[in-house]
Amino acid sequence: MKTVNELKMTVDSKSVNEGFSRVAIGAFIACLDPDIEELNDVKTAVSEAVTNAIVHGYREKAGKIYITVSISDNNIVRIRIRDKGVGIEDIPKAMEPLFTTAGSERAGLGFAVMESFMDSVRVTSQLGRGTTVTLKKRIWGKNS
């Protein structure tokens, strides 16, 4: 498995960049000719991960979000979204559906959406150092 194309970008932890990040990543993977559902799955998962970095990682304060997207020769898209925020104390708990620390307007389903829309979701975190979410999905494309 060889990386054939890679995108690296850094965005400020501002909510306006949620839309920018998912659209930019959607455009980057367009070369794999994803169908509407695959494209929407990736954009939705990215939106969840970037929102988590802003709302939880940085607690809506200023920070940077580091995004790497790589496409491998077997059409697997790997998206790494990293923040240098507060970190997660208990990862399994944070990933439980309906668990949230952000109040009644957040459903606590961000990780559930990522897990349901991507092939794999991996989370690593260190308290006080930040969190990295790695999302993977094989794009079969319109011709599959």
Residues of this chain that bind another protein (CB under 8 A): 15-16, 18-19, 22, 37, 40-41, 43-44, 47-48, 51, 54-55, 104-107, 109-110, 112-113, 116
Sign of CA dihedral 94, 108, 38, 68: negative
**Count of other CB atoms within 10 angstroms of residue 23:** 13
Question: Does residue 106 have an active-site annotation?
Answer: yes
Our CB check for another protein shows the closer of 71 and 114 to be: 114
Q: Which residue type does 117 have?
A: F
State which residue, 107 or 127, has the beta carbon closest to another protein: 107
Which has the closest alpha carbon to 136: 46, 66, 53, 21?
Answer: 46
In angstroms, give the least distance from the CB of 47 to another protein: 4
Per DSSP, the three-state class of 62 is: coil
Q: How far is the CB of 137 from another protein (least distance, A)?
A: 15
Closest to another protein by CB, 9 or 109: 109
Neighbours of 54 (CB within 10 A): 22
Task: Please pick, among 5, 40, 75, 106, the residue that the annotation labels catalytic.
Answer: 106
| Residue 48 is among the residues annotated as catalytic for this protein | yes
9, 24 contact by CB (below 8 A): yes
Catalytic residues: 48, 52, 106
